[in-house]
Amino acid sequence: MRWAQIRRCAEAHPPAKIIFLFALLEGLIWGTGVWLKPHIVFPALAVWLCSLTQSALRRHVFKDLTGLITGGILVGVLGTGWLYFNGAWPWFLEMQLDWNREYLTDKTNNLQNYGYVVFSMVVRLFPYSFIHLAAVPTALALLIRQDPKRNDSDKLRLQLLSTLYLAWCLQVLLLQHPFDYVHFPPLLLGIVLLTFWIHCHQRFPRMLKTAAGSFVVLALICSPVTKPAYLKLWDDCLQQGSTGSIRNRLARIPFPDWEDMERVADYLRRQQAQDNEITCYSNDLVHLFLYLDLEPSTRYVYSHHHATYFPSKQPAIYKALRNSPQKYILTNLMTPGLLVSQAKEIGPEGPFSYPPAFPEDLKSNYPWNLPIAFRSGTLVVHQYPEKPIHKQTDTSADKSTQPRSDEFSPRLEDVPPRE
């Protein structure tokens, strides 16, 4: 759309209304993208600044910019109105103006673990991780070098695409945490850039042809399309649907165990759990809210991650948990850093107890200090007490539902449970 707008402005006498309307439409699209991910505003700005290198657009820059801003404002007003009438506006504003600063600060303070996380992600995304090795230098060369043999239309589109790709990569690295889904869009943009560059290249060197062909072959070898173990699951998927067993066999990351998740869901159904009675403390257990069609106990759906990434908000998070009607707190025994084999191990105290490798010091901290009501593999359901539990003296009671220490005081960072 940006390329077409530049071409439109290059006409002899383009109508001002047409330029404004097409810019308005482009602004509506960028504005919608900002609602999905606010970081997109940086690639959008970069692409617009790149388009200003064209003298045709500079002659109509006011009409173009007015249309873009108007479209963005319209989408912003619609989204803000929806948030306001649904009662979510104050929380949205609080997140944007207060919480996000701490989220970004945590990224810069956690550089030691950053390298390991990025390396693991590169392995999971193999071989597509190699796209950047070719796309980044290609994009830089297209922006810096001028090729007189290439027609202006192709050159302009390649420059806009290069700007979009590089700006997206920068905002991903500088502003966002290293989650797989965050790095997927720049990979797609890199593939599109390289593909279009190859298409525009009239004389393509044999070495580059060999490299491109080798990458395609490698991608097919690593693709599920060529794996018999994946292909034979089609029949099971069509007949059974998305079962825990099928999910486990397709998963790229070994947690959560989807069959264990189904067993936990079945247990909570038998307990007739209701809305606001479940806290999924560990991040990967939030799928259970969809399994059970229930509302979480608080607005802090990712309780553990919220408390970790926003340390200054811990008192508010724990207070909300304390005052909520929660009855069940769900945790993953891998959260403290245990391997899958360690977290699934059954200790001498039985199946409804902690594995031997579980850190002893955590057993006195929330939520690990709560009694275990149910366990399946690495997943644990803790029972939240209705009243404060005092020192335990009955050693003959069932250990699966009793506290694990001589003195048990369930607390949320020294905040007592609700009466």
Q: Mutual orientation of helices 100-109 and 111-124 as an angle, nearest 10°?
A: 90
Mean pLDDT score, 315-325? 90
pLDDT computed for residue 395 by the predictor = 37
pLDDT computed for residue 102 by the predictor = 78
pTM: 0.75
> What is the dihedral sign for C-alpha 123, 124, 129, 130?
positive
For residue range 65-97, list pLDDT tens digits in order: 999 999 999 999 999 999 999 999 998 998 888
pLDDT computed for residue 389 by the predictor = 45
> With bands split at pLDDT 50, 70 and 90, how would you rate the model's confidence at 162?
very high
pLDDT for 10 beyond 80 = yes
Residues 100, 415: Cα–Cα separation, whole Å: 26
* Residue, of 204 and 236, whose pLDDT is higher: 236
Residues 381, 352: Cα–Cα separation, whole Å: 9
Contact 87, 38 (CB under 8 A): no
Q: State the chain's mean pLDDT as an integer.
A: 83
For residue range 221-248, list pLDDT tens digits in order: 888 888 888 888 888 889 988 888 888 8
pLDDT computed for residue 112 by the predictor = 59
Phi, psi (deg, nearest 5) at residue 172: -65, -45
For residue range 327-364, list pLDDT tens digits in order: 999 998 888 888 888 888 888 888 888 888 888 888 88
If we measure between CA atoms, which residue out of 173, 110, 91 comes closest to residue 308?
110
pLDDT computed for residue 387 by the predictor = 54
> What is the dihedral sign for C-alpha 344, 348, 352, 355?
negative
DSSP state letter for 380: E
pLDDT computed for residue 263 by the predictor = 92
pLDDT computed for residue 113 by the predictor = 67
Contact 48, 6 (CB under 8 A): no
pLDDT for 408 beyond 60 = no
Mean pLDDT score, 251-273? 88
For residue range 307-317, list pLDDT tens digits in order: 888 888 889 88
Q: Which of 55-69, 101-115, 379-393 has the highest mean pLDDT?
A: 55-69
